[in-house]
Structure 1
């Protein structure tokens, strides 16, 4: 007997309106991560992301979810010549250990992949995919309901109390008793989640979408229709949508998402888009929006148990694939298979001086921008 308590609407927040990139590979410099934590652990984490994309694709096929899913590959673009040197080291480390399909795209071949002159080569991870997240999430909810799950929207959790052998969960729509509880929320600013709020930082991510572009223009700017991400700390991500728009996103500003903040960020993103693709001068931007990403200090997910409850969260901008995969993995963990959790060996300390309100974001943003200029 499974009940899902959703504070708002299914996929109503960032989970249903993000960039739709479903990528393999960690968001880290893999060579550096392997050096720091060991090749074995780094490889296991990398494979978890590969497995996550496979999980998404399997569920889409099994449940016949119409969400424009396509395997297109992710191309990480070197924003500086020295970034390409780092990508070469990552390529060599990956190729020799966990990803034999990874490819290095040298500067002289980059025009085959993208119609922009501001990058210096790239790293192509061919298993990445893209999809329409709103369609996917609603389709996934429908599949869960068909299999017997009860989905309660507008049911924000207000209290969780331990009782003998079970939990008493109070929400906006009433009270229920459960033998097990899985906390699967990310950036909740309300409810009894203080322990998680001290460990998760809410960071705004913002997106613009252009008017539909001609086939000629699309062949010029994105001939291979990959998922594209840039190598800067405060970088951008972009792709072409099935209705021929360029979806262009990024941190833009280290601020939370609200209508005023989204508008400011949209203007910054439009400037970055035109720097990347000057040929889009005069192109109309039809949409601009934002949402919150749940970041951990090291940008790795966290999953396990706290106070008798299970949890999985902290996907740090990669929840498209990892949240879906961890739903499957945590079901196995809750059924007794503790080894199914790929993040079980990670400690998770509270962030010093932090209680859930990210007062330090402007300073962090300024520091990251300085690092981008210097390195």
Structure 2
């Protein structure tokens, strides 16, 4: 049984069903209600795993390699399932919020290229206009691997393939708890008790009290997104000339893209570290957008929404297994590719029963150590507003210093 009908849950269910297993996917809302249909549509794997300051460089390299493998898996899945038409392989541009961030990006790009991981290329500050139509940024890095997806269309396609493969998708069905029984688990749901040999948790930013031990390890963070009214062709062409996925290096993250019809700016980020409505979030995002693109100040915002992402204490993705309970959680805001990959890796673990970890994010065998709990945390992220205030202050100081 799979709990959670997003990318990870559906990817897992599809691989299990194709492997001959009987599968039920349950979601407390309609499948895809969460981040899988309400994300920014950026599909990249590998770059975010590069950490040249990591104390264990061998482990870091393994994470980069698994990240790149996730990108390959994602593109192969789309091609195999006939879903490639919802994907634009336009690459990625990471913009430097302040000059010293450019130095860090440049070193990462040099390392990635020298080691054959990515065709990463630095973009000097005077050439930023090649990627984004603003003077706000201080250079950046671009690479061709990865791109953009239409999130809800991707989810709908996966959902249809899962149903066609013979799996059952039950929603809305709430999970109230579970207990060990001989041979597996008995899962208490609003549709009745369900017996299963393996129980898979892929609830990510919506992990709740039905899985309290995992809930203490997962921090849900709302990501807010807005879309502008249709823009003139010349405005669109200047905003993101190469139509890549774009994000920046501010602590209060922003990311943006053109809409799939290339007529609107779709702009997302951490508009609030407290839970507010999409309308309130849109106000903060509009301020952030026009700070970067002042010429959009008078452009109307026509759509706004939010969806939860999930962070771990170590800011890494996690999958694992203990006594037939499996999980894939916490992609830290970069989950389109990674969650799809981790779901398939859980299916591999169930079907093949390997003795070794199946990827660099597999903590099976040392689950509690590999997936750290958060002290004084029970699932309610009381500390996020404090962290958000700290991030905003530090970003402000960084920009102030860079202007001197």
TM-score bracket for the superposition, by shorter chain length: over 0.9
- Give 1:248's aligned residue: 267
Decide whether the 8 Å contact of 1:201 with 1:296 is kept in 2.
yes
Describe the superposition over 1:190-215 as per-residue Cα deviations: whole angstroms up to 9, x where unpaired: 44211011111111110110011222
SS in 2 for 1:159: strand
Describe the SS at the equivalent of 1:14. coil
Distance 1:15 1:342, change over 3 A: same
The alignment status of 1:277 with 2:300, answered yes or no, reads no
Contact 2:208/2:215 (<8 A) preserved? no
Taking the TM superposition and a 5 Å limit, the aligned residue runs for 1:79-98 are 79-98=97-116
| Bigger shift: residues 181-190 or 4-13 | 181-190
Taking a change above 3 Å as real, the CA distance of residues 104 and 189 of structure 1, as seen in their structure-2 partners, is: closer
Alignment of 1:38-117 (within 5 A): 38=57, 40-65=58-83, 68-117=86-135
Asked if 1 retains the 8 angstrom alpha-carbon contact of 2:258 and 2:266, the reply is yes
Counterparts of 1:285 and 1:173, CA distance in 2: 41
Q: What secondary structure is seen at the aligned counterpart in 2 of 1:27?
A: helix
Partner SS, residue 229 of structure 1: strand
In the alignment, the residues of structure 2 paired with residue 348 and residue 308 of structure 1 have an alpha-carbon distance, to the nearest angstrom, of 17
SS in 1 for 2:25: strand
Structure 1 unmatched ranges of 5 or more: none
Q: Is 1:209–1:286's contact at 8 Å kept on the other side of the alignment?
A: yes
| 1:1-375 equivalences in 2 (<5 Å) | 1-27=22-48, 30-33=51-54, 36-38=55-57, 40-65=58-83, 68-188=86-206, 190-243=208-261, 244-256=263-275, 258-259=276-277, 262-335=278-351, 336-337=353-354, 338-345=356-363, 347-375=370-398
SS of 1:217 mapped into structure 2: helix
Question: Contact conserved, 1:3 with 1:152, CA < 8 A, in 2?
Answer: yes
Does structure 2 conserve the Cα–Cα contact (< 8 Å) formed by 1:303 and 1:343? yes
Aligned equivalents of 1:187, 1:321: Cα separation in 2: 16
Shift of 1:347: 1.3
SS at match of 1:340: coil
- Moved beyond 6 Å, runs of 4+: none
Alpha-carbon RMSD: 1.7
Measure how far apart 1:138 and its partner are: 1.2
Task: Check conservation: 1:302, 1:312, Cα contact below 8 A.
Answer: yes
Q: Distance in 2 between matches of 1:174 and 1:18?
A: 32
Q: Is the 8 A contact 2:32 2:155 kept in 1?
A: yes
* Deviation (angstroms), 1:49: 2.0
Gaps of 5+ in 2: 1-21, 364-368, 399-404
**Paired residues of 1:206 and 1:288 also in contact (CA < 8 A):** yes
Query: How many residues in Structure 1 have an aligned counterpart in Structure 2?
Result: 369
Q: CA deviation at 1:319?
A: 1.4
CA-CA distance at 1:283 after TM superposition:
1.0
User: What TM-score do you get using the length of structure 1 for normalisation?
Assistant: 0.94
Deviation sequence 1:90-141 (CA, Å, 0-9, x none): 1222222242411111112221111100111111122121111111111101
TM-score between both structures, scaled by the size of structure 2: 0.87
**Contact 1:154-1:173 at 8 Å conserved across structures:** no
Q: 2 CA distance for matches of 1:26 and 1:369?
A: 24
